[in-house]
Structure 1
Amino acid sequence: MTQPLDSRTREQLLTHARSQNAWLPRPVSDEALRELYELAKWGPTSMNCSPMRVTFVRSTDARTRLLSAVSPGNVEKVRTAPVVAIVAHDTAFYEQLPKLFPHRPNAGDLFRDRPALADQTCLRNSSLQGGYFIIAVRMLGLDCGPLSGFDAGLVNSLFFEGTSLRVNFLCCLGYGDPAGLFPRSPRFDFEEACVIV
């Protein structure tokens, strides 16, 4: 049975965590990236479809390619982050359903001839997994800065040409420099965002 988390854990995962804009020159190991995925993969998705795929950009060559696709306001964030994750989704996710949803081996047939349903399912569930990914980053004591400011077509061309992968968002990873933070932006109160019916 799940139990409520203590206040310190809640702070680290959500209430005091921040999207980072600047980074300390401290590396992130391959082992940490592996552990990050191993945590994030357990979050639920519909039919266990698990469409998220992650490309961790660290090399100079890969970073140079990625920088050519990001908006000017994000260049410094991407240039200085120890790692940038290209959080993508596999548009042919349904081909893996016999492995991931074995009690219904023909589940992929629901999507093969229904591209709109496949696209919606893929994007929705890779976005869910992207949220789990961010929580896992924070669980490991790392910081992150998710980004939307980039040319998706160019990222797909540079990194996923000839594959069924498509970018969802970018996420800088590392150890944030507190000097790069600005005052926290407000959030809606419950009454502004929610209704109980």
Structure 2
Amino acid sequence: MSAFAPRPPLPEAALAQIFADAHTVNGFLDTPVPPGLLRRVYALARMGPTSMNCQPARFVMLATRTARERLGPHLMEGNRAKTLAAPVCVIVATDTRFFEHMPEVWHAPGARETFAADPGLAAATWVRNGTLGGAYFMLAARALGLDCGPMSGFNAAGVNAEFFPDGRWQANFLINLGYGDPASVFPRNPRLPFDTACRVF
């Protein structure tokens, strides 16, 4: 089948796993996440579109308690215990010099020079597309059977100093990752209806 041929929607069970039945989890079962599965998550997530295929998102996977303890002092109190206990905590970061890779990932010449010459354009691009990359990562993780606990409750300056002292990568948000404990899931908060959130012209 051509990549551009019409195709049927995913089965309802798949949509439910990725969206409708998926919740942010606050605790995990004592089940490890194999390194090979982390590689599969990234292999899917990297296929999500970014402007000019720039791919500025970077993923630092803290898969040992020792690594997560380095993160601990920089977390809000309510996020500390669950992060230390999670099988994996992913620092979703952004490469502020993503454009150095543009000759590898973009078909037209000159992209690296364009971004290097315009810091404002580069920053807007890495902020927007780096966040997209983190969202793709969560959807890929859910598609492969994992649960996610995304967080923004941390001291970004502290995390950057601890993990990215050269300043090139910058922490965006965190994702605790593993197999969720159903008892840790809060009731779902309401989502806005179509007529509030959408306009069709």
TM-score for the superposition, normalised by structure 1: 0.97
Look up the SS of the partner of 1:135 in the other structure: helix
Alignment of 1:10-159 (within 5 A): 10-101=15-106, 103-159=107-163
Task: Report the count of equivalent residues.
Answer: 196
Aligned residue identity for 1:71: M
Aligned residue identity for 2:178: G
Look up the SS of the partner of 2:89 in the other structure: strand
Q: Give CA deviations for 1:50-107 in whole Å, capped at 9, x if unaligned.
A: 0011100022332111011110111122011100000101000011100000x21211
Once residues 64 and 180 of structure 2 are traced to their aligned partners in structure 1, the CA distance between those partners, rounded to angstroms, is 20
Once residues 77 and 187 of structure 1 are traced to their aligned partners in structure 2, the CA distance between those partners, rounded to angstroms, is 25
Shift of 1:142: 0.6
Once residues 74 and 61 of structure 1 are traced to their aligned partners in structure 2, the CA distance between those partners, rounded to angstroms, is 17
Look up the SS of the partner of 1:68 in the other structure: helix
Question: Are 2:180 and 1:171 aligned?
Answer: no
Look up the SS of the partner of 2:59 in the other structure: strand
Aligned residue identity for 1:84: C
Once residues 33 and 124 of structure 2 are traced to their aligned partners in structure 1, the CA distance between those partners, rounded to angstroms, is 33
List gaps (5 residues or longer) in structure 2: none
TM-score for the superposition, normalised by structure 2: 0.95
Shift of 1:163: 4.4
Q: Give CA deviations for 1:97-120 in whole Å, capped at 9, x if unaligned.
A: 00000x212111221121111111
Once residues 94 and 135 of structure 1 are traced to their aligned partners in structure 2, the CA distance between those partners, rounded to angstroms, is 25
RMSD: 1.0
Look up the SS of the partner of 1:24 in the other structure: coil
